[in-house]
Structure 1
Amino acid sequence: MSRKIFITKSDKHKLLEIINKYEDSKNKQNLKDLEAEINRADVTSPEQLPSDVITMNTKVILLVGDTEEEINLVYPSEADISKNKISVLSPIGTAILGYCEGSIIEWKVPDGTVQIEVKKVLFQPEAQELYKL
C-alpha cells in the first residue's frame, strides 16, 4: 500500500519539464519512477504544505540501510555528491520526494532494494516561505 506524498504545483510543473528534457537519456526507468511518484502525489499550495515534507531544495537526514546521511534534494543541474546535493533523478532522490519525517520507504536502487527512513527535515523552503508563487 502506497503512503500519501505531497508536491507543490510549482515543483510538479518544473519536474515534468525535466522529465521531458531528459526523456532520451539512458536511464529511462528513473524518469518513469519519478513521473509515477509525481502523478500519485497530492498537489498542494506552498502555504498548505506540512513543514516536514521533502520538497525540492529540502535538507534532510536519512537513514539509508544502516547509514545516516544528511542530503539536500536538488534539481539535476545542481547535483554535487561532494556537497551532499542529490539529484531528484537519482533513485534515492526520486524515492524521498514528497515523503514526510518518520516515513519509511522501500525503493529499488541499482544494487537491489533499500530501506530509507526519513529521520529529520532540517530545512524546507516552503516552511521558510522561500518560494515563488
Structure 2
Amino acid sequence: MATTSEAPETTQEEQGVLSLNEAFQTYVRQMPQDTKKSAQPEIAKFVRWMGSERLIDSIIPSEIGDYNDIFGAKTATRDATERLSAVKLFLTFLKKKDFIEVNLAQHLRLRKSRTSAAAKAVAAENQTRSVRLTQSGYNEMTKQLAQLQEERIRIVEDIQRAAADGDVRENAPLEAAREAQGMTIGKIQELEATLKVAVIIDAKDQDDTRVHIGSKVELTETSSDKTVKYQLVEPNEANPLASKISIVSPVGSAILGHKLGDEVKVKTPRGQQVYKISKTS
C-alpha cells in the first residue's frame, strides 16, 4: 500500500516573508560578539516599538522617521548617534539581504539632519525635474501639508507658553517645542517642494496597452498562482501599506513598460520569481 508524506513546512525566512522578530533573530546570529552586547538591546527596542510580529516589508519610511524623531531626540547627540547606528546597521542588513525593497536605513538619522539637510536635498532635486503624482497621491500630500501647517501654529503657541515659564536655558518643554517646530518645518518644506513641481498624471495621455506610472496591476506568480495587486507610482508617493510601489523598486522596475499577459522576472529574497501581468487598469 502506497504511503504519502507531507512536504516539510517551510519557515517564513525560507519563503522570504519574515516577521520583524524573525529578521532580528537572523541578524543577531551573525553579529560579532564584541558588538552584540551593546547593539542587541537597542535593536530589540526598535523591534518592540514597530511590532515584533509584523512583516518587515510592511514598514514604511515615515515610520522610521518617527522612530528617529522620538528616540533620537531623547538623548545627547553623541549618545543618540550610537544608539541609532545599531538600528541603522540592522536595516542596512535587511536591504543587503534583499529582505526589503526599500532602503529604510537612509531614513534613520539625527533630527538636525532630517529637518534641514533632507528638506534641502529634496528641494534641490525637485528644482531640476518634475514629479509625477496620481491624483490621489497629490490630494493626500495636500491634506498632509494643511495638517502640518496647522500643527506649526499650535507649536508656536507651545513655544510662547513654555518661554513664559522661566529660565529658557533650562526649560525642557521649550526645547522640546523648538525641536518639534524644526521637524514640522522640515516636513512642510519637503512637501511644498514636491507639490510645487508636481504634475498630475492624466490617464488619457498614457499608453493603455502598457504598464505606466499610475497603472493598477494584478500579478500572478507563475510557480504558485498567487496574485498580488499594486499601483505603480513615483518614489515620493510609494506606500507599501496602500499597495503603492515605486517604479524603482524591483517589482516596479520589472513591470514598467510591459503589456497585459507579459511574464517578467523579479529578484526576491526567495530567489528569482516569474510573474505574469494578469490585469491592468
Relative to the length of structure 1, the TM-score reads 0.52
1:98 and 2:257 aligned: yes
Q: Residue 69 of structure 1: CA displacement?
A: 1.2
Q: Equivalent pairs: percent with the same residue?
A: 29
Instruction: Give the 3-state SS of the residue equivalent to 1:106 in structure 2.
Output: strand
Q: Quick check: 2:206–2:212 contact (8 Å CA) kept in 1?
A: no
The structure in which a higher percent of residues are strand is: 1
CA distance in 1, matches of 2:227, 2:240: 15
1:71 and 2:230 aligned: yes
Q: Quick check: 2:263–2:277 contact (8 Å CA) kept in 1?
A: yes
Q: Residue 241 of structure 2 corresponds to which residue in structure 1?
A: 82
CA distance in 2, matches of 1:81, 1:64: 18
Q: Residue 134 of structure 2 corresponds to which residue in structure 1?
A: none
The 1:57–1:110 alpha-carbon spacing in structure 2 relative to 1, beyond 3 Å, is same
After superposition, the C-alpha distances for 1:82-120 in whole angstroms (9 at most, x for unaligned) are 111011111101110000000011222343101110001
User: What is the correspondence of 1:1-133 to structure 2 with a 5 Å cutoff?
Assistant: 50-65=207-222, 66=224, 67-122=226-281
CA distance in 2, matches of 1:121, 1:90: 18
Instruction: Give the 3-state SS of the residue equivalent to 2:280 in structure 1.
Output: strand
> Could you say which structure has the greater relative contact order, defined with CA pairs below 8 angstroms and 6 or more residues apart?
1
CA distance in 1, matches of 2:213, 2:253: 11
CA distance in 2, matches of 1:50, 1:76: 21
Where do 4+ consecutive residues of structure 1 move more than 4 Å? Answer: 46-50
The 1:77–1:116 alpha-carbon spacing in structure 2 relative to 1, beyond 3 Å, is same
CA distance in 1, matches of 2:246, 2:205: 25
Relative to the length of structure 2, the TM-score reads 0.26
Q: Residue 57 of structure 1: CA displacement?
A: 1.0
Q: Residue 40 of structure 1 corresponds to which residue in structure 2?
A: none
Instruction: Give the 3-state SS of the residue equivalent to 2:265 in structure 1.
Output: strand
Structure 2, gaps ≥5 residues long: 1-91, 96-100, 102-202
